[in-house]
Structure 1
Amino acid sequence: MAVERWTGARSAPFAPGYEPTLAFGAYLDLLGAQEKGQALSPSLVPFTVLFGFIGSIIVGRITLRHRLNARFDRVGGHIGYSVLPEYRKRGVARSMLTQTLPRARALGLGRVLLTCDDDNIGSYKVIERCGGVLENKIEVDTDFGPRLKRRYWIAL
């Protein structure tokens, strides 16, 4: 798989902070620093990035934010994930989320917030199957116009 595919997502990059000119080892170092709260832009919080694999191919990414700020409390939440289109509907997102929840608990979180577009049936079904309880739906402004977002909490 060409790593360049990671940078093509519309609203959130598949590999946050990755640039094609960056050596993969340097990218992993950057992720390690961000996990410790270093090298972050002011709008971010410390986070852990994990990748989903099928064999040796990276097919998904999940981000675990260690806490919420005003931005992520509204949209984004503690956990966000993405699966490459050709690997969707294979249980990858559910597997990644299931494996990430114990990590969130280990950070001391008692519950986690996840959000998704209201019309993203696949995403909200994953969240619900992993114990997500819908709190509300809110309208947010995006680069693509107003979008209705679902906000779910999962108790840990």
Structure 2
Amino acid sequence: MEEQLSLVKPSVEHYEEYLSFYEEWKNSNEPIVPWVVEKEPYDFAQYLHFLESEKDENNLPADYVPHSTYWLVKEDGRVVGAVNIRHRLNERLLKVGGHIGYGIRPSERQKGYATVILAKSLEKTRELGLDKVLVVCDHWNTPSEKTIRNNGGVLESEFTEEDGNVVRRFWITL
């Protein structure tokens, strides 16, 4: 990929572009991933505060783990993706969530951005001191599986959720 892509912390600098990203995804009626993108960002200061506060264990409900969110931004400022990095795993994340959840806005898919956002996210997990991360995808999501494998993912197992959905679990050694 020739163009410059950066993984950035959410900020007011990207307000308009992030709203465009969010609205495009909402209007697509597709499932939104990672989960933090589902949160309505119209009170942007509050949204940014929420994202920042989620890094601190003391601000979280008992069943949550500290996590950080970043946006994948093109050199022209366009927000093309988002990633949520869990700093550690709990029982639920070990089965079906993993350390890293990412998504690319619908109009920017199949351009290699998913591979880039996962690769850049792995750098962030190294900074957290992790030496191995779990990344998952639904069994039917062949593009996501390819992205995970392209970043060194090795299939460990599958987990069947209560609704019958099968989650494929990949480990990436850093």
TM-score for both structures, normalised by structure 2:
0.78
- For 2:21 and 2:167, the matched residues in 1 are separated by 31
Q: Which residue does 1:53 correspond to in 2?
A: 73
Unaligned 5+ residue runs, structure 1? Answer: none
Query: Is the 2:33–2:101 contact (alpha carbons within 8 Å) kept by the matching residues of 1?
Result: no
Give the helix-richer structure, 1 or 2. 2
Query: Is the 1:4–1:20 contact (alpha carbons within 8 Å) kept by the matching residues of 2?
Result: no
Q: Which residue does 2:11 correspond to in 1?
A: none
Unaligned 5+ residue runs, structure 2? Answer: 1-19
Note if 1:155 corresponds to 2:173: yes
- For 1:39 and 1:104, the matched residues in 2 are separated by 21
Q: Which residue does 2:46 correspond to in 1?
A: 26
Note if 1:114 corresponds to 2:135: yes
Tell which has more relative contact order, 1 or 2 (C-alpha 8 A, sep 6+).
2
Tell me the number of residue pairs that the alignment of Structure 1 and Structure 2 aligns.
152
- For 1:11 and 1:41, the matched residues in 2 are separated by 22
Q: CA deviation at 1:32?
A: 1.1
Q: Which residue does 1:130 correspond to in 2?
A: 151
Equivalent in 95, 120, 123 of residue 74 of structure 1: 95
Any runs of at least 4 consecutive aligned residues in structure 1 with deviations exceeding 6 A, and if so which? none
Q: Which residue does 2:116 correspond to in 1?
A: 95
Give the strand-richer structure, 1 or 2. 1
- For 1:19 and 1:64, the matched residues in 2 are separated by 19
Distance 1:38 1:14, change over 3 A: same
Q: Which residue does 1:41 correspond to in 2?
A: 61
TM-score for both structures, normalised by structure 1:
0.87
CA RMSD of aligned residues (A): 2.0
What is the percent sequence identity of the aligned residues? 36
